[in-house]
Structures are given as structure tokens and as C-alpha cells.
């Protein structure tokens, strides 16, 4: 029975397209193909040198260098995915990347190198070789989807932030869950907490404790740029490919689209598993932020989720190759990172400039948010506003004609007590009257040939007036 259940779970997992396994499959193919190409290029270099064509040989050598660097990047990318799968091959990937970086490209033979690369590529996990328990864990990750940030660690992060004394700061969590983490970050400060949440149930809970909450996907929301003093970002991590085969990484897209929402000088708190800090992510961080720090979560929490907190102050974009390399190297060795409780107190000062969030709308319609937006709209005030003329008794600019008096009386606008110099009560009504006209058509001899009867209906206006002197009826 247990074996049957295990097989069912594995078959269900295979029917899902998991991002990690798809990526490892692509990397495996790329490594094998590029390794074979390296050997062919090395042969071409030898042939060009034997013919005395040094310039051509050098061009091919530069191509081999680029291919070698590309292979190193692919192996490092594979290591990140292997760490996520908790696969022991991750340690071998690290060593292989280091050895390949130092490999002498003018060595006589590449046979041993290509053999090692081929064996590594074929050993990478795929749908057929991955253990059922690993597939099950990936499926659980997809089902759960939401991992709330440990509030103790949020407290360590909050301790490192110096909130301005006389400014109300705007804080944003693009995937806020129930809002607990952002609320803990803002504890004791003068701040307004904004959150976006995809799940309706969690968004409703967050709405009870945050200042503003947008429902739906962060990527479909409409938020004022440059309006937030700090962004707290603990994004979801893509585990399954979308129906259209999209392979965009959520943690990278969240970071890229959150940066413009920060004030220059604002603080980014970015929480991800250390193995997700790829070189391109490190480059985005270091190009856009200064005073970058990376601290890992404490042992029990780190053992479960492998998370690190990367913090930095937004600056104008610049190229930072050295800082990128340093951050990437630090992420590759998480055991050497300082823990979150070692963050210096008040080491990040938030900007003192006051900012107004003009626009904050989620991707999904929400009644409370609509009510808030309508309350802020001046259009409705203008629509229903009463002018001075509306609040005063209205008098016609010219005397009314007889016809106008009749229309007003017939409509009922003149009914009731008329308070004037001679007070009276008036009641107007319209009476329909029928008039019949008979026309006889006779011949020359006086004989009746035909009779034409015409009926006309007319309205007669009657005003009944009660005065102190008595009753009168006017027609």
C-alpha cells in the first residue's frame, strides 16, 4: 500500500512541470553540448598554430575562454538548484566550478575534462531520477505557497532601522500575507503600512491591521513611484512553470518592480533563500543600493528555510562589479555570514522627507478600497455641492406670464400655503373638458347627405383659493 501511494505521488509530481527540474534539464544539455564544443575548439587551435596562423588561433582561444566562463556560470546555477533540492551533488558542483575556472585552456588534452563535465551533467536530477519524497516536497511548496516571515527576525531587522522623529513614513510589503511582518517592522514608529496580497482571505485579515491593502497580484497593481521610505520584501519563489511555459523568477521580478517605489535614500529589506541569490540578482542589488549588508537567519530558522536578509539604501543606478562579486561570494558560503541578531542597532536611517502616496490600487476590485477612493475624490463634492443660490429662496428674474402661471399651477408647484402679505392657501388642478361639434352636409334641395361629428378635448385650469375673506375658485 505504501509503495502504491509513493508511485501515485511520483506520477502526480511528474505531471507537474517544476521550475527547478526543468532548469536542471536545460543546464544538463547545455553542459554536455558546450563540453563537446570545447574539445573541438582546442583541436582547431592546435591546427592553426601548426600552420603558423597565430592570430586565428588567438581568436579561437578567446572563444574558448568565453565558453569556459559560460560553463562555470551554468554549473553555479545548477548548484543553486541542487541546494534547493538538498541534493549532495551541490558540493561537487562548487568544486567543479572552481576547478574549471582554473583549468589551463592550452592543456594538451580535454578528454578528462569533458568526461568529468559529461558525468556531472548526466548526474543532475530529472523527473525520472528524482526521489518521490523530493517531488512530494516540491508539490507541498506549490500548495502552501505562503511562508510568513519569522517575527523574531523581523524584530532584529526593525532594531537596525532608525525611524525619523517628526515624519510619518510609508512602509510597503508587496506580498504582505496577513500583515503581521510589516506591522512588527513598524512597531513603535510613526508610520503608515501598505500591503499587497494575492490571496483574498489573507488580504482581508491584513486589511484589519494595515493602513491600506491592495487585493490581487502585485504585478497588476497601480502604486505611486518614489513614495515609500522602506520596502519589506519576502517574495514567493517560483516552483512550477506557468501554463504558457513562462520561466520568469518571481523573486527577481518582485525586486525589479519594487525598486522604483522607493524614495532615493529609502531602505530595501530583501529576504530570500541564500541559494536564490544568483549573480544577476546580486548585480541588481549592488547596482541600485549602497550600504549593502547580508545576514542569515538564526540556526533553527535557517536550517528550515535557508533564508538571508539583504538590506541596502537606494541610490542612483551605477555599475558595481566589485560589490556584486563580493555579495555573490558571500552568498555562496552562508556558514560564514553574520546572523540577523548581529545587525547593528539603528544602522539604517530612513529619509526625513514626507511623502504622500497619491495612488494605491490593487489589481482586484475591492469595495473598501473603492469607498476610500470615492471619499477622497473632489468630483463628488462638486457634483453634490450647494451654491449660495441653492440655499436661498429663488425668485424669478422677470414677472411670470399667464401661460407660465398656468404651467406652474398645473404641475402642482403652487399648491399649499403661500406666505406673503395676504396669506392664502392655493390648490391648482386641471379639468379635462370634451366639446362636440356636429356638421351637417345637405344637398341643394335641403336633403341631408351626411353628418360629421368632431370631438375636441381641452384642459381647463382651476385654482381654488382659500383666503381669510373666504373661498374663491378661479378658472
Q: What is the pLDDT along the chain (475 residues), one digit of tens a residue?
A: 333 344 444 444 444 567 778 888 899 999 999 988 888 888 898 898 899 999 999 999 999 999 999 999 899 888 888 887 778 888 888 899 989 998 888 887 788 888 999 999 998 988 777 665 555 555 555 444 456 889 999 999 999 999 999 999 999 999 999 999 999 999 999 999 999 998 889 999 999 999 999 999 999 999 999 999 999 999 887 554 444 445 556 788 899 999 999 999 999 999 998 988 988 999 999 999 999 999 999 988 888 888 999 999 999 999 989 999 999 999 988 889 999 999 999 999 999 999 999 999 988 877 777 776 677 677 767 776 766 666 666 677 777 787 777 777 767 777 777 777 777 778 877 778 888 888 878 777 777 778 888 888 887 777 788 787 877 777 7
Kind of pairing, strands 307-314 and 262-273?
Answer: antiparallel
pLDDT at 187: 93
pLDDT at 224: 95
Rounded-to-integer distance, Cα 339 and Cα 301, Å: 11
Query: Any idea which residue has 381654488 for its cell?
Result: 464
Exposure string of 161-191, with b = 16+ CB inside 10 Å and e = fewer, is bebbeebebbbbbbbbbbbbbbbbbbeebeb
pLDDT at 4: 36
- Which residues are within 8 A (CB) of 463 and not within 5 positions of it... i.e. 6 or more apart? 409, 414, 426, 427, 428, 473, 474, 475
In this structure, the number of other CB atoms found within 10 A of the CB of residue 135 comes to: 22
Exposure string of 264-281, with b = 16+ CB inside 10 Å and e = fewer, is eebbbbbbbbbbbbbbeb
pLDDT in tens, 437-458: 888 787 777 777 788 888 888 8
Q: DSSP assignment of 149-167, as one string?
A: PPHHHHHHHHHTEE--SS-
pTM, rounded to two decimals: 0.66
pLDDT at 214: 93
pLDDT at 400: 76
- What are 290's three cell numbers? 549602497
Query: Any idea which residue has 544538463 for its cell?
Result: 28
Query: Any idea which residue has 578528454 for its cell?
Result: 111
pLDDT at 6: 42
pLDDT at 453: 83
Instruction: Pick the closest to residue 355 from 220, 288, 268, 261 (CA basis).
Output: 261
Instruction: For 145-376, give the CATH class.
Output: alpha beta
> Where are the extended beta strands (E) located within 307-423?
307-314, 348-349, 360-361, 416-418
Amino acid at each position: 500500500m505504501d509503495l502504491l501511494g509513493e508511485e501515485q505521488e511520483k506520477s502526480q509530481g511528474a505531471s507537474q512541470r517544476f521550475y527547478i527540474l526543468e532548469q536542471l534539464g536545460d543546464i544538463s544539455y547545455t553542459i554536455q553540448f558546450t563540453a563537446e564544443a570545447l574539445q573541438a575548439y582546442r583541436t582547431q587551435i592546435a591546427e592553426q598554430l601548426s600552420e603558423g596562423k597565430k592570430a586565428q588561433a588567438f581568436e579561437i582561444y578567446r572563444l574558448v575562454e568565453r565558453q569556459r566562463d559560460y560553463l562555470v556560470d551554468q554549473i553555479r546555477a545548477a548548484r543553486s538548484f541542487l541546494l534547493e533540492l538538498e541534493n549532495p551533488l551541490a558540493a561537487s558542483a562548487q568544486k567543479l566550478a572552481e576547478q574549471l575556472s582554473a583549468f589551463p585552456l592550452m592543456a594538451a588534452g580535454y578528454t578528462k575534462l569533458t568526461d568529468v563535465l559529461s558525468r556531472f551533467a548526466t548526474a543532475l536530477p530529472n523527473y525520472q531520477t528524482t526521489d518521490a519524497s523530493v517531488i512530494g516536497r516540491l508539490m507541498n511548496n506549490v500548495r502552501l505557497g505562503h511562508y510568513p516571515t519569522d517575527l523574531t527576525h523581523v524584530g532584529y531587522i526593525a532594531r537596525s532601522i532608525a525611524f525619523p522623529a517628526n515624519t510619518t513614513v510609508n512602509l510597503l510589503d508587496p506580498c504582505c500575507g496577513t500583515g503581521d511582518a510589516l506591522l512588527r517592522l513598524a512597531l513603535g514608529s510613526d508610520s503608515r503600512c501598505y500591503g499587497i496580497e494575492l490571496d483574498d482571505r489573507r488580504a482581508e485579515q491584513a486589511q484589519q491591521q494595515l493602513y491600506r491593502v491592495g487585493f490581487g497580484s502585485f504585478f497588476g497593481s497601480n502604486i505611486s513611484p518614489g513614495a515609500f521610505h522602506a520596502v519589506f520584501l519576502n517574495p514567493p519563489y517560483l516552483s512550477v512553470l506557468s501554463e504558457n511555459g513562462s520561466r520568469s523568477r518571481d523573486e527577481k521580478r518582485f525586486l525589479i518592480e519594487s525598486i522604483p517605489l522607493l524614495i532615493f535614500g529609502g531602505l530595501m529589506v530583501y529576504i530570500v533563500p541564500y541559494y536564490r541569490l544568483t549573480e544577476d540578482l546580486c548585480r541588481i542589488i549592488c547596482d541600485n543600493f549602497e550600504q549593502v549588508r547580508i545576514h542569515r537567519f538564526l540556526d533553527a530558522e535557517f536550517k528550515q528555510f535557508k533564508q538571508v536578509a539583504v538590506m541596502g539604501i537606494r541610490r542612483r543606478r551605477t555599475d558595481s562589479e566589485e560589490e556584486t562579486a563580493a555579495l555573490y561570494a558571500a552568498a555562496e558560503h552562508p556558514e560564514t555570514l553574520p546572523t540577523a541578531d548581529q545587525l547593528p542597532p539603528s544602522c539604517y536611517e530612513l529619509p526625513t522627507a514626507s511623502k504622500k502616496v497619491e495612488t494605491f490600487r490593487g489589481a482586484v476590485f475591492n469595495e473598501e478600497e473603492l469607498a476610500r477612493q470615492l471619499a477622497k475624490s473632489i468630483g463628488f463634492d462638486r457634483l453634490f455641492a450647494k451654491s449660495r443660490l441653492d440655499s436661498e429662496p429663488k425668485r424669478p428674474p422677470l414677472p411670470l406670464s399667464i401661460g407660465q402661471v398656468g404651467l406652474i399651477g398645473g404641475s402642482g408647484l403652487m399648491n399649499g400655503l403661500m406666505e406673503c402679505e395676504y396669506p392664502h392657501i392655493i390648490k391648482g388642478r386641471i379639468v379635462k373638458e370634451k366639446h362636440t361639434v356636429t356638421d351637417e352636409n345637405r344637398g341643394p334641395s335641403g336633403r341631408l347627405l351626411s353628418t360629421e361629428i368632431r370631438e375636441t378635448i381641452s384642459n381647463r385650469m382651476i385654482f381654488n383659493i382659500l383666503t381669510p375673506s373666504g373661498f374663491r375658485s378661479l378658472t
